[in-house]
Amino acid sequence: MESSPRKTDIRSLVILAAMFFIFGFVSWVNSILIPYFRIACELSHFQSYFVTFAFYIAYFVMAIPSGKLLQAAGFKKGIMVGFMFMALGMFLFVPAALLRTFPLFLTGLFLIGTGLAILQTAANPYVTIIGPIDSAARRISIVGVCNKLAGILAPLVFAAVILKASDSETFALIESGALAGEAKAQVLDELVRRVIWPYTILGTGLLAFGIWIRYSFLPEIDPATENATPEGVQDRKSVFSYPYLVLGALAIFFHVGSQVIAIDTLIQYAGTMGLDMLEAKVFPSYTLSCTMLGYLIGIALIPKYLSQKNALVVCTLLGLVLSLCAVLIDAPLTFMGHRINASLLFLNALGLPNALIYAGIWPLAIRGLGRHTKLGSSLLIMGLCGNAIMPQIYGLIADNYSLRAGYWILIPCFVYLIWYALHGHKIEYWKK
């Protein structure tokens, strides 16, 4: 017997929105950590993108264990464990800063990513099936607004807390090689130790929030019931028997990889136009502002005026057009008082279509999985490792050619996403 559709639980959606705000704040601060650690820990562009690699590879490594944890402990206890991992990773920034050891920072980032892998494995299916499946993209858009609002604030808050007005001169001295020996070591030590108190406070807050979630009114859900296999359709033995799910995980990989490139690389790319970190810190926020606008459009239009599937098609096509403009159009201009290249604004504009791509893929990929929903969610979360791998590819291209040439990697990403939007999500069975 098919279960009746669940009405959206507004109180639960509010808690989930708060969680996605935290996800966004912790994740998108990487856009300024990358250039910050590049200077403070004396790294190449390629090495600096290990910030995103260490952070997001945890999604690939820990997604299946996260699904098993949620199966064994339930959603609420699993969410508490996720916040504990995040807090532990942040506390690890203290010895890493005191020793100015980049590998220890990466270990902390991996633990933060592990916590987020657990939380995302729980939160994404929760948002998807807490209400009618045909309006899932709208709910994902609502929590996405909170996520990207945090992303807008994260680099600005981090810069306000960590950076000083005199740092432009300090960075220039370091980059020029004017500082050396003990004097340089003292400056770098002072610079990197500024992260200690912010991350200690943030870790303590996350630990407290995780404990509160455990005892909150957030209900447990049963994905096997709420996302049941449609009546008359045979249940399958494995999640890999659902082509639209596997192909959806690959779509998530390419989508998030292209999204993080269009955000986390902007400060360094703006540096090629003569902007220092203090000036360039606003450009990731511009991209995330466009993403917020995309979410608001999704909330207004989906599903009443625009279906989830059609929104995905439109957004993937627009993403390809903007990516081609970013790599092909070379025009200097003045924007908000900054003398930049037009390509930077096309990268900012990518935030608009990127808003609804994730929201479009997820419900198409997870539909009708029944008892496989938790494991299917883990598989989709594994796709978030695109955030780890794609920036590394970008960094290699940037080091060997130019930062702008690295953006060619966006083109095949959007080509695949267009294919999935038009055809890939319809594949129900693998052909023999």
User: Rounded CA gap, 311 and 353, in Å?
Assistant: 9
In a domain, 2, yes or no: no
Distance, CA of 150 to CA of 221 (rounded, Å): 27
pTM over 0.85: no
Phi and psi for 308 in degrees, rounded to 5?
A: -60, -40
Yes or no: say if 139 and 292 are a contact pair by the CB < 8 Å rule. Answer: no
- Angle of helix 342-349 relative to helix 283-301, nearest 10 degrees, comes to 40
Q: Is residue 17 a contact partner of residue 204, using CB atoms and an 8 Å limit?
A: no
Residue 160 counted as domain residue: yes
pLDDT value for 3: 40
Number of domains in the chain: 1
Low-confidence ranges of the chain (pLDDT < 70): 1-9, 129, 133-137, 218-236, 432
**What whole-number distance in Å separates Cα of residue 19 and Cα of residue 172?**
38
- Residue 337 belongs to some domain of the structure: yes
Instruction: Please report whether residue 431 resides in a domain.
Output: no
The pLDDT value given to residue 223:
55
Predicted pLDDT of residue 109: 93
**CB–CB of 135/261 below 8 Å?**
no
In a domain, 227, yes or no: no
> DSSP alpha helices (H): ranges in 92-228?
93-99, 102-129, 136-162, 167-176, 181-192, 196-214, 223-226
Task: Say which DSSP state 5 is in.
Answer: P
Distance CA 18, CA 196 (A): 24
Residue 107 lies in a domain: yes
Share of residues in the chain with pLDDT > 70 (%):
91
Question: How far, in Å, CA of 330 to CA of 344, rounded?
Answer: 10
Domain that holds residue 181: 10-219+239-426
Q: Is residue 362 part of a domain?
A: yes
Predicted confidence (pLDDT) per residue in 224-259, tens digit: 555 555 554 556 677 788 899 999 999 999 999 998
Would you say residue 183 lies in a domain? yes
pLDDT value for 207: 92
- What are 347-377's pLDDT values in tens digits? 999 999 998 898 789 888 888 777 777 778 7
What's the CA gap between 395 and 406, in Å, rounded? Answer: 7
Q: What is the CATH number of the domain that holds 47?
A: 1.20.1250.20
CB 275 within 8 A of CB 332: no
Q: Quick check: 220 and 347 in contact, CB under 8 A?
A: no
